[in-house]
Chains A and B, each alone.
Chain A
Amino acid sequence: MNNFDHDPLQTFYDECQFARVPDSLILGARKDSLRSRLMTPLAGLFLGSILGCLLLAIPGRDDHPLNPSTTLSLCRRQMRSTPQARPDHVIRIQVEGGNA
């Protein structure tokens, strides 16, 4: 950097020596210890409540025993695996499910 009369690079590093230190950094280590103490139980509580809400919100199969599309697809699968199954099984289930 000797080629410069005024060396902007060295000026920058000289100014770094007196740069204002952010206030947030002063509490840095303490913030970390607080964070580690608080965050684990809080995160567990938060995730637990989300999971609980999801479990309550997702309907179980028992709530909708006559879901036509589910029943129909199960029936199709059974027809493929058991040759003795007849197409009228499907029609009957459709009617029962209210989708016919």
Chain B
Amino acid sequence: MEISLASEKVTTTSVRTVAEVDQLLRDVRPWLYRLALAVTAHPEIAEDAAQDALIRANRSRHKLMAVTEPRAWLRTVVVRCALTRIQRAPPFPDIPPEISQDPLESIAVQQTLQKLSAHDRVLLGLVHFEGLTYSEIAEIMAIPVGTVASRLHSARQAFREEWNK
């Protein structure tokens, strides 16, 4: 899958060196994993998605040397990798209770999130974890801004309904 951002200014000359890209890829790993965790609500799927994104980034070093907003580019990559991974995963895989001080509640939240559609999960993660604006989310998910607002509303509603069951 070719990743491109409409608003990303890709210059023909490099804005960072190979060493800088290496350093960038080392620095962003925790963030990539945590973002993947937020949008997948599953540690194992998140690890796979982050791994996929790192592999893709590694293969596209020339792009990372040229893009002016590498984190935005990487965010798009990891979100799309996460979407693919969620859609491939079985409906309700087991969830390792590893991330929370209150594991029972965390598992319940993750299980509830996993009952939502892949797009709803990603949308909630991008809003609550990344704090992105609607237009930024629209660009990542390749949907109109108005759709982001309506889908976010229905995603929150769906979460609330599942949570209260």
Contacts and interface: CB of A to CB of B under 8 A. Distances in A.
Interface of A: 1, 3, 8-13, 15-17, 19-22, 24-26, 28-29, 32-33
Given A11-B105, A13-B125, A29-B25, A21 B33 contact: yes
B125 A32 contact: no
A5 to B, nearest CB: 14
A98 to B, nearest CB: 55
Given A13-B125, A15-B101, 20 more contacts: A1-B156, A1-B159, A8-B105, A9-B109, A9-B124, A11-B102, A12-B41, A12-B100, A12-B113, A13-B128, A15-B100, A16-B38, A19-B99, A22-B33, A25-B54, A28-B29, A28-B50, A28-B54, A29-B58, A33-B58
Contacts, number: 78
A9 B124 CA distance: 9
A88 to B, nearest CB: 64
B128 to A, nearest CB: 4
Contacts of B30: 21
Contacts of A24: 47, 51
Interface residues of B, number: 35
A13 B38 contact: yes
A21 B58 contact: no
A85 B59 CA distance: 67
A29 B54 contact: yes
Given A9-B159, A33-B58, A25 B47 contact: yes
B119 interface: no
Given A25-B51, A26-B29, A32-B55, A11 B156 contact: no
B34 A21 contact: yes
Contacts of A15: 99-101, 106
Contacts of A3: 160
B110 interface: yes
A21 B98 CA distance: 11
